[in-house]
Structure 1
Amino acid sequence: MLGKVVLSFVFVLLLLISSAIFIGHPDIRSHFVLKSLNQPVQCGPEPPIRVYMYDLPRRFNVGMLNSQSTEETPVTAKDFPPWPDNSGLRKQHSVEYWMMGSLLYERDGDSVEDSRDAVRVSDPELADAFFVPFFSSLSFNTHGHTMTDPDTEFDRQLQVDLMDILNKSEYWKRSGGRDHVFPMTHPNAFRFLRDQLNESIQVVVDFGRYPKKMSNLNKDVVSPYVHVVDSYTDDDLQDPYEARSTLLFFRGRTLRKDEGIIRAKLAKVLAGINDVHYEQSFATGENIKASAQGMRSSKFCLDPAGDTPSSCRLFDAIVSHCVPVIVSDQIELPFEDEIDYTKFSVFFSFKEALQPGYMVNQLRQFPKEKWTEMWRQLKNISHHYEFQYPPKKEDAVNMLWRQVKHKIPAVKLSVHRSRRLKVPDWWRRRR
C-alpha cells in the first residue's frame, strides 16, 4: 500500500514538472511554497537619498550671515558658520541653512552615519537629486524685506545670477530642473524669478500663497517653520494638566492680511474671558521669552492663520508641549504622510472659531485624559521639528530629506516621459 502511495506521488510530481516545462514555466516552487509568498518580506532600512550640492559662491548662502565677509570660495564643513543667536525672526525662515549643513557635515563613522536620510555625493552622475544652496529666504530678509528699497536689487540680481549658473548646467538642462531642490520658506523668497522654478522641487511652508502651477503637493515638500522659542526639555510634571493654569494662549500680531484677518476678529470674540490670554505682541527677544513661558503654562495654544495659512506659532506650540488649536481652513502640514496631527492637535474652522463662546466651551469640556494623551504625543514627536547642526536621527532636516526622496519616483517618470514625447503634455490638454 505504501509503495503505491509513493509511486502515485512520484507520478504527480513528474506530471507537474512536464506540464511546467511545456507551458514555459519550469519553476514549480509556487506549487509547494505558496504559503511562504504570503509572508512579509524582511527588509533593512531604506538607503538614503543621494544628493549632489552645487558649489556656489558664498554670496548666495552663508555670506549673508556676515555682511563684513568678502570670501567667495564655497563653504565647507570646516568653516560652516553657526547660525547667529541674534537673528530674531529671521530664524523661522532658516530651513535652507540647516539643509545645507546636513549635506556639509562630515561624520566620523558613528551610529548617526547609518541614520542619515540624505548623503552628499561628489559625482553628479550618482545623484538622485540636486540641492541648490541659495538662501532665498534670507536674501529677501537681508536685501529686500521692505520690498521697495534699493537693496532689493541685490536680491533680484542674486536670482538672475543663480539662474544663469543653472541654465549652463547640463544637469539642470537634462531634467528641466525637475530633480533640483530649492528651500523657499519665506512667502516672498525668489519672488522675481520664481516662475522659472515651477517644475523644481520646492521646500515651502505654505501653498496657499501661490497658484497651483507654481507650488503643489505633487512635486513639492511642506516644511515646518524653524521654531523661535526654546524647546521645553524638562517637562516632567506629574499632573501637567492642572499645572497649566491658562486654558487658551495667544501672543502675537493681530493685524494681518488675507486669511490672517481672522486674528482681529478673534480678539473681539475672546476678549474678557478669564482663562484665555490673547495679546497683541511683536517679536522681540524679551517677547519671545514671554511667549515661551506663556505656552508652557497653557493647556492649549491658539494657532490662527497669519498672512499665509500657516504660521511659526504652531511649531512653537509643539516644542512647548502645548496642544495646538489650529484655526486655518487651507493649511497644509509637514510630514503628514507619517504624522497624524489629530493625535495632538485640535482643529476649528473659521466659522466655528468666530462663533461666540463655541471654541472656548469646546476646550473647557475637553476631557483631561484625552488632553494628557495629546501632551504625551507632543513630547514623543517634538524631535521631528528640531533643526540642528549637526543633524540627528529623524530630526526636521532628515524628515525633509525623506519627503524629498518620496518625490523622486514621480520626478523620474516626468523626466523620462518628457524625453520621448513629441507632443508635450498632451494628456493634460485632453483633460
Structure 2
Amino acid sequence: MMPLKNIVTRSASPSCSIPSLFISLSLLCILPLSLFFFFHSSPNPQMNLLQTTPPNSIKVYVADLPTSLNYGLLENYWALDSDSRIGSEVDNEIRKKTHIGGKSSKKFLPYPENPIIKQYSAEYWILGDLMTPEKLKLGSSFAKRVFSADEADVIFVPFFATLSAEMQLIVNKGVFRKKKPGNQDYQRQRMVVDFLKQTDAWKRSGGRDHVFVITDPVAMWHVKDEVAPAILLVVDFGGWYKLDSNTANETSSDMIHHTQVSLLKDVIVPYTHLLPRLPLSENQKRETLIYFKGAKHRHRGGIVREKLWDLLINEPRVVMEEGFPNATGREQSIKGMRTSEFCLHPAGDTPTSCRLFDAVQSLCIPVIVSDNIELPFEGMVDYSEFSVFVAVSDALQPSLLVNHLRSYSNDQKDRFRRNMALVQPIFEYENGQPGGIGPVSPNGAINYIWRKVHQKLPMIKETIIREKRKPLGALVPLRCHCT
C-alpha cells in the first residue's frame, strides 16, 4: 500500500474505548479485569468497535410548546395541495393515494419522504421516542421522560425547526431571510425563544441545559445567536462558522466563533439515510472502484468537489454521476453504491451530507475528502475501522487517490465491510411505529444521541454553576476557541 502522510490506513483491528470525561482510580484498577471478561464473553469480538456499556439513563423534560410548533406543522405540510420543488413528487403521490391532509384525517402523520426534508428527520424521531409511554418502552430507550423541569438533566425543545424552515421555503421563499410579518418561520422561531426565555428553567441555566434539534443548515436562521448557549443537535458545524473579524486575514478557516458551536457542549448527529440497508449476507461482487452521485458544482469548501470530478471522470472503474436522489436518482444511487468498492464523500456546501450514511447502509467503503468534517458519536465509534480519510491536498494530486484505493487488498476491504455491517444500526432513526411514537432500537441513533448528550452533562453543569457566581455587572471575556 502506498504511504500517504494524511490518509488513515489503519486496518480494522479490535479496539476498546471508554468515553468519559473523568476516569476514577477505582475504574483504573478494575479496567483490566473488565476487559478480560469483555473479550472472552462477547460472541463477536469486533463489537468492541462500539461503546456497549452506557450509563443507565438521562432524565429529559419536554418543554411545553404548543402543538402548532411540531405535529401541527406536519398537519400543515400534508394539507398542502402539492409542492413543486425537486424531489417532492413522492410526497405529492402520498397525498393522492392516502388522502393525507386536514387536521382530522390521520391520528399519526408520517414525516415527509421528500429527500430534501427527510434527511433532516431527527427532530421527528427524537420527539416520538419521548412521547412514548414508559410502559411501552420496555427499557429500550436511554432517555427517561420526566414531567418536572426540576427533576430533569436536560430540557428538550420540541420544535420541528427543519420542517418550519422548509414549509416557509415552499410557501414563500422570497421572505425566508427577512424578519417581517410574511415570514411565518421567523414568527415561529420567535415564539419558541420568547416562550422559553420566560420559563424558570431557562432563567436558571441561561438555556445551557436545553436541547435543540437544528439539523437543517437553514433551520432557526434568525435566532442562532440566542440559542447558541444551548445543547445543539447538528449534522455538522458548516452552517455555524462565523469568523472573528480580527482574524479574517489570517489562516482562520478552522475557527468557530465563541457565540456559536463547540464540541464541548453540542452533539453531531447522523443524517437520516435515504437508501435502504444492505445486509452483509446479501453483499455481491463490486465491479466499480469509486462511485459518486451528486451535484458537481458547490460553494465554499465544496469547490473541492468540482476539482475531484475533473481528476476522476476519465479514470477506469470510476463512476461520477450528476443527479439528485428523487425517484429516478434513488434507484441509480442504490445500484451505484451496491456495486462499488468505495463511495466518494467530498465536502459540499457544508462538510457532510447524507451520502456518507447511505454509503454505510450500502456497505460501500466511504472515502472522506473533507478536512473540517465532524462525525456522529466519535469516541463511541471508530470511523477509521470502516472508512478511508484523505486530506484535500492529497486527493487533488493526479492519480494519487485512485492508486491508493487500488492498493487495498480484498481482505482489507472485506474487513471494512464487516465493520460497516456492525455500525449500520446506530445510524438508523426509524422505528416502524405510526407517527414515530413507539419503542426505539436500543442500539439505534436516538439512544446514541442521548448517550452523547449525557457525556456533556458534567461540563454543562460546571458552566451553569460558574455563571451563577459571576458578580452582577462583571465583564468576563469569552475565550472559547473550541474544536
Determine which of 57, 72, 79 is the counterpart of 1:48.
57
From the superposition, tell whether residues 427 and 229 of structure 1 become closer, same or farther in structure 2 (CA, over 3 Å).
Answer: same
Aligned to 2:67: 58
Q: Distance in 1 between matches of 2:321 and 2:114?
A: 23
C-alpha deviation, 1:61, in angstroms: 1.3
Q: Distance in 1 between matches of 2:198 and 2:30?
A: 50
From the superposition, tell whether residues 135 and 295 of structure 1 become closer, same or farther in structure 2 (CA, over 3 Å).
Answer: same
Q: Distance in 2 between matches of 1:364 and 1:282?
A: 28
C-alpha deviation, 1:425, in angstroms: 6.6
C-alpha deviation, 1:137, in angstroms: 1.4
Residue 333 of structure 1 aligns to which amino acid in structure 2? Answer: L
Superposed CA RMSD in Å reads 2.7
Q: Distance in 2 between matches of 1:351 and 1:193?
A: 36
SS for the counterpart of 2:371 is coil
Higher relative CO (Cα under 8 Å, sequence separation at least 6) belongs to 2
Determine which of 410, 414, 419 is the counterpart of 1:377.
419
C-alpha deviation, 1:430, in angstroms: 12
C-alpha deviation, 1:198, in angstroms: 1.5
Matches within 5 A, 1:331-346: 331-346=373-388
Aligned to 1:404: 453
Q: Distance in 1 between matches of 2:348 and 2:27?
A: 54
Which shows bigger deviation, 357-366 or 57-66? 57-66
C-alpha deviation, 1:151, in angstroms: 6.4
- Note if contact 1:144-1:155 (Cα within 8 Å) is conserved in structure 2: no
The reply on whether 1:284 has 2:326 as its aligned counterpart is yes
C-alpha deviation, 1:420, in angstroms: 1.4
Determine which of 86, 99, 111 is the counterpart of 1:83.
111
- Note if contact 2:75-2:109 (Cα within 8 Å) is conserved in structure 1: no
- Give the unaligned 5+ runs of structure 2: 1-25, 35-52, 80-100, 178-182, 243-255, 432-437
Rg larger in structure: 1
Residue 359 of structure 1 aligns to which amino acid in structure 2? Answer: L
Q: Distance in 2 between matches of 1:37 and 1:409?
A: 20
The reply on whether 1:393 has 2:423 as its aligned counterpart is no
Matches within 5 A, 1:13-412: 38-39=29-30, 46-67=55-76, 68=79, 79-84=107-112, 86-108=113-135, 113-144=138-169, 148-150=173-175, 153-210=183-240, 211=242, 212=256, 213=258, 214-233=260-279, 235-237=280-282, 240=283, 243-389=285-431, 390=438, 391-412=440-461
From the superposition, tell whether residues 419 and 405 of structure 1 become closer, same or farther in structure 2 (CA, over 3 Å).
Answer: same
CA deviation digits over 1:339-396, x for unaligned, max 9? 1110000011111111111101111111111111000000011100001134111201
Q: Distance in 2 between matches of 1:45 and 1:163?
A: 32
C-alpha deviation, 1:406, in angstroms: 1.0
C-alpha deviation, 1:427, in angstroms: 7.2
C-alpha deviation, 1:424, in angstroms: 5.2
C-alpha deviation, 1:317, in angstroms: 0.4
Residue 274 of structure 2 aligns to which amino acid in structure 1? Answer: V
- Note if contact 2:217-2:238 (Cα within 8 Å) is conserved in structure 1: no
SS for the counterpart of 2:226 is helix
C-alpha deviation, 1:64, in angstroms: 2.1
C-alpha deviation, 1:426, in angstroms: 3.7
- Note if contact 1:58-1:71 (Cα within 8 Å) is conserved in structure 2: no
TM-score (norm 2): 0.74
Equivalent pairs: percent with the same residue?
A: 38
SS for the counterpart of 2:454 is helix
C-alpha deviation, 1:59, in angstroms: 2.1
- Note if contact 1:63-1:70 (Cα within 8 Å) is conserved in structure 2: no
CA deviation digits over 1:304-346, x for unaligned, max 9? 1010011110011011111000000100111011111100000
SS for the counterpart of 2:374 is coil
C-alpha deviation, 1:58, in angstroms: 2.4
Q: Distance in 1 between matches of 2:161 and 2:392?
A: 32
From the superposition, tell whether residues 295 and 425 of structure 1 become closer, same or farther in structure 2 (CA, over 3 Å).
Answer: farther
- Note if contact 1:318-1:382 (Cα within 8 Å) is conserved in structure 2: yes
Residue 109 of structure 2 aligns to which amino acid in structure 1? Answer: P
Residue 69 of structure 2 aligns to which amino acid in structure 1? Answer: F
CA deviation digits over 1:97-130, x for unaligned, max 9? 1111110122545xx5324211111122110000
- Note if contact 2:54-2:451 (Cα within 8 Å) is conserved in structure 1: no
From the superposition, tell whether residues 419 and 70 of structure 1 become closer, same or farther in structure 2 (CA, over 3 Å).
Answer: farther
C-alpha deviation, 1:410, in angstroms: 1.0
C-alpha deviation, 1:147, in angstroms: 8.3
CA deviation digits over 1:155-201, x for unaligned, max 9? 10001111111111111111100000000011111011110012100
Residue 466 of structure 2 aligns to which amino acid in structure 1? Answer: R
Q: Distance in 2 between matches of 1:209 and 1:136?
A: 14
TM-score (norm 1): 0.83
SS for the counterpart of 1:114 is coil
Q: Distance in 1 between matches of 2:368 and 2:72?
A: 37
From the superposition, tell whether residues 172 and 208 of structure 1 become closer, same or farther in structure 2 (CA, over 3 Å).
Answer: same
SS for the counterpart of 1:324 is strand
Q: Distance in 2 between matches of 1:102 and 1:270?
A: 43
- Give the unaligned 5+ runs of structure 1: 1-34, 73-77
Q: Distance in 2 between matches of 1:145 and 1:166?
A: 27
Q: Distance in 1 between matches of 2:28 and 2:310?
A: 63
From the superposition, tell whether residues 424 and 201 of structure 1 become closer, same or farther in structure 2 (CA, over 3 Å).
Answer: farther
